[in-house]
Structure 1
Amino acid sequence: MHPLDLPFTRTRHDRAARRRAETDVVEASLADPAARTLVLHRGLLAVAGTHVPTAALLAPVGLPAGQWLFLGEHDGAPCLALVLPDGAEQELPPGADAWLGLREVARGAGAVSGAGSGGQSGGQPGPDAVADADAEVLAHGLAVEAVALAGWHRTHARCGRCGGPTTAVQGGWARYCPVDERETYPRTDPAVIMAVVDDADRLLLGHAAAWPAGRFSTLAGFVEAGESLEDAVRREVAEESGVQVGSGPGDVLYRGSQPWPFPASLMLGFRARATTTAVRTDDEEVTEARWFTREALLAAVTAGDVGLPGRQSIARALIEEWYGGELPGAW
């Protein structure tokens, strides 16, 4: 099996962690005429373009006050994020056309990825198309990092130990509590997501209680304390569907990972082999689970009876990897 191609994993920049210890990393970056900045407000990105919106990479000049984050470097030029205060409405900065969420931006990045590898025409892209694709992939990779980091700052303004206010340090990659004299760092919550396949090569998909009728996806859940990823796969599948996953070599195969900063998840994708097929949902998180052949899934999606996850998700990639190609439709 080939590695999964996932929109949230495409990047062109160096995170330059070596520079975070510099006391003036943000100030030095702002003084660099080659520096570029993403602007965020209330979790949304300032984007450029309307047909294929892309996170806008702006010169950090004349922008309003906010929190600056050091994202890294690209070809030696610093990359920053400016997080505007949540309280008041903010005008779009010059050079941006709209405020959009990361999911909407990711849809554009998926289109860019196709163009950058030859496009829909099947021919070789020209140098301008390749340059545009590289710039948009760069902006998208920076956007994923910026949204995740900004979300962490939004919920960690105070120390988890003493409750006192903390300040951002290390270019925004840590927060410091002067009372406890300790630093805290951005957290990531691991979650497993799996394409469960039985010995007849059918795929198991589930319907979550909170979803509209007809929406199905792969099963998923958070890794618990002291738990291996493989055991998390087996536990979550059993809890949500009643199906048992094998414990032998090759029964749980890692397929790839995808940051999912909504707010702080890392999705770890697997292919899992089911050793039972009887379905018994928990009716709390998952209210229905069904086995699909390729023909049945295609027919259900084409008829509009089943809606699949969006193309920016690892769930969609796992489903289409099993299917062997693209499927129509998405949420």
Structure 2
Amino acid sequence: MRIGYSFWGFLGDGVTDTPDGGRSHRRTLIDALIGSGHEIVFLQADRDSDEAATALPYSWEPEGFPEIDALMLEWRWPIQGRNTTPCGTPGHTCDLHRQTDLVDHYTRGGLPTVLWDKDRQLPADDPLRTQPAVVVCEAALHPSPGATSLLFPVADHALDAADPQALAGGDRRWLLTYVGNQYDRDDCFNSYFAPAAGAHADHLVAGKWTETIAWPHIRFIGRVPFARVAELYGQSLTTILLLPHRHLSAGQMTQRLFEAVLAGCLPLCPIEFRSGRSLVPDRLIVSSGAEAATIIGDLAEARHAARADLLAACLEQLELMRVSHQVRTLDEILTSTVVTR
């Protein structure tokens, strides 16, 4: 099938000052779709070229409406002062305008559409949910009623090549690290990361955190280039998977899980995360910041073999996020939607 794919972000490393977490998995999914026989054309601006001066071997048609068999949207929502302003306004981005045009032209015209609501921002009563040609997907173990689970994908080859013995080695300069932005994570941060960091001075937080006065003891270093994410995790013993409540309650895990594990960094998961034991070993499920601090201390003293065993268990549970599984889900969705069109 020829799939028109709409996303606002990057396929390569992009630029530092951007909140695009999709860089860790978007190209993985695209390459797997192409590898399974689909043709992909991107329908938003080529930000890799426009902003990062990176030429990539894909096709873009950011204007007009090319012939496609199906539309796939990484769902965009209104962000005041950014994509809700008139075109040409300083700081304006056209992602929402372009998405609206795509939906009006393709989706409302009956074209099969996969709406991937990656941040769970689509209102429960949005009319698109009842359109016969639309399938809503969420990156959650327990998606909203009527939605389908499509998890953030990790590359098959990355899982197949991962060696827990090798991953458990190396110098772990930091006992605890978090890489990611503040957005809606204050509650989780207060409950887990802040107390654990208070017990372990060797910690850091990388990302956009603008309101930090409540945590004077935390080492915030600001945003880092995307290429540095794996490096930081590779220097860290543990991370804590900080998530907004809407993700905790739906069992929606971000890319932070496999970014950490594939760098040998052990992920501690809050007990509030629904069905957390499906993705993280029981030993790494924590019910408080104090418990997280204790586990981090124990892991710092643990033998190499014990950490390797935990990483092996983490890798085994990442099978749920394997990209070939996600492509199979998309193939089933697209096939059934085209057949019933």
Normalised-by-shorter TM-score class: under 0.3
Higher fraction of helix: 2
The TM-score normalised by the length of structure 1 is: 0.27
Higher fraction of strand: 1
Q: Highest Rg: 1 or 2?
A: 1
The TM-score normalised by the length of structure 2 is: 0.26
